[in-house]
Amino acid sequence: MTMMNRRQFGLLSAGLLAPRRLLARPSGSAERKFLFIFNDGGWDTGHVFTPYWEVNDAMVENDAQSGLAHGIPFVDHPNRPAVRAFFTQWGGQTAVLNGLEVQSITHERCREIMLTGQGPLADDWATVLAAQSTQDLLIPHVILDGPAFTSRFTSSAVRVGDSDQLPDLLAGHSTLRSDLIAPPLPTSAESQADAFVAARAAESGGVFGQSYADALDKIQALRSWDELNLTTEDAGCERHIANDCALAFDMFSRGLSRCAMLRYQGWCDEGWDTHQGLPLQSKNFDDLFLYLNEAMADLQTRTSHTGNPLADEVTIVVFSEMGREPRLNGWGGRDHWTFTSTMLIGSGIRGGQVIGGLDVNGQGRTVDLGTGGFSDGGVIMLPEHLGATLLALGDVDPAAHVNDAQPIGALLS
């Protein structure tokens, strides 16, 4: 069995890099991977996804006009050229869900509902997908930044940390950040400690002990990949989201992860929670779509560990925890709203379409999940429908994880 030092044992004991039972499918076979891009604070969908021209008493931006690319209608504006560029280039691979109801207006609760369909004591979509992977992944769900909710599958989710905690832990530098005095042990004591840890692991025996040995080998491999840089980068006054996407693609292409979560907090990290004024929403959207354009171009150049183009295996989910009221408040901004939009891009998605919309009151319209068309006998789309769709895309039975919800069949290619 592979010898294990105290730092490696600490990683395993902390649940950060826990071994998982090997499943039957060969490691070389392809499975879909998922990148979640969370826009924190509640975006104003009327700036891009849901035109407010037919919503009663809603204010529409000056110079806004209807745009159309690859069958996707969007709100076009001179101040948001990156939005137009994105749909022109990537609209054929993109589907937009409009009028999805989150059924809350508090940030914390909306995050839970959007990502789990339930709330506390539930696993989010990314964690479930990662936990149900048919591959023996070292870091099944890597959280670069943003929310994560786990219950049964906590060992599948690994947070990098906004100050590079995971890289420091892998390198053994984490104790240097501590206020505790940790003098190095003599060589003889280090050897005795390593022998003790190895003996305890060997006592496990059988498949369990072998799984620990396999995990230790992979930890060593991860630490030895100098070209895999887990540290985060800023772009001036904000986090560089395209670089976060690139790191996620690195993890996917090496067969290390199935899912990744990152967070965009707006232009210069000013956020999306704009109760006063509207210009920041416009800046945020143009900035976000600049990053998306860069990330999509990067994705097209990648090859998966399976030998396939990585773009054929990756689905990107771009979302916020809520939307914003179409009508202005007394400060010239927009307050929280239970209806929002989500954008899905890439593998498995039937692109070039918009499903759902808002009625004259700014509320979601009922849709037929199979056809994607408006229907009086249809349903208001909920996060559960989104989650069931993502699980179906990942070859995971939604019935085992989502209460009474069907996938949005019209989304699936």
Tens of each residue's pLDDT in the chain, 413 residues = 344 444 443 444 344 444 433 333 333 458 999 999 999 999 999 999 999 999 999 999 999 999 999 999 999 999 999 999 999 999 999 999 999 999 999 999 999 999 999 877 899 999 999 999 999 888 999 999 999 999 999 999 999 876 666 666 666 655 666 666 666 667 787 678 767 766 777 777 666 566 666 666 666 666 665 566 777 778 889 999 999 999 999 999 999 999 999 999 999 999 999 999 899 999 999 999 999 999 999 999 999 999 999 999 999 999 999 999 999 999 999 999 999 999 999 999 999 999 999 999 999 999 999 999 999 999 999 999 999 999 999 999 999 999 888 999 999 99
In the DSSP assignment, the letter for residue 401 is T
* Residue-level pLDDT at 216: 61
* Residue-level pLDDT at 25: 35
* Residue-level pLDDT at 399: 93
Name the residue among 101, 120, 149 with its Cα closest to residue 385: 101
* Residue-level pLDDT at 182: 66
- Per-residue tokens: 260: 């990744």
Angle at 287 between CA 62 and CA 228, to 5 degrees: 170
* Residue-level pLDDT at 253: 95
DSSP letter string over 228-282?
A: ------EETTEE-HHHHHHHHHHHHHTTS-SEEEEEE--GGG--S--SB-SHHHH
Determine phi and psi for 99, rounding to 5 degrees: 75, 25
Residues 134 and 31: beta-carbon distance below 8 Å: yes
Angle at 235 between CA 222 and CA 138, to 5 degrees: 15
Spell out a b/e string for 61-91, using b for 16 or more CB atoms within 10 Å of the CB, else e: beebeebebeebbbbbbeebebbbbbbebbb
Give the Cα separation of 185 and 197 in Å (integer).
15
CA distances from 87 to 284, 290, 315, 398 (A): 17, 12, 16, 30
Fold of 34-170+234-411: Alkaline Phosphatase, subunit A (3.40.720)
* Residue-level pLDDT at 211: 64
Name the residue among 384, 381, 359, 358 with its Cα closest to residue 368: 381
Provide the residue ranges of all domains of the chain, joining segments of one domain with +.
34-170+234-411
Give the Cα separation of 183 and 176 in Å (integer).
10
Amino acid at 96: V
Give the Cα separation of 358 and 49 in Å (integer).
10
Give the Cα separation of 76 and 89 in Å (integer).
15
Amino acid at 130: A
- Give residue 263's region: left, alpha or beta (phi > 0; psi -120 to 50): beta
Give the Cα separation of 27 and 326 in Å (integer).
48
Spell out a b/e string for 272-297, using b for 16 or more CB atoms within 10 Å of the CB, else e: bbbeeebebbbebbbbbbbbbbbbbe
Give the Cα separation of 248 and 257 in Å (integer).
8
Residues 228 and 257: beta-carbon distance below 8 Å: no
Q: Which residues contact 234 (CB under 8 A, 6 or more apart)?
A: 240
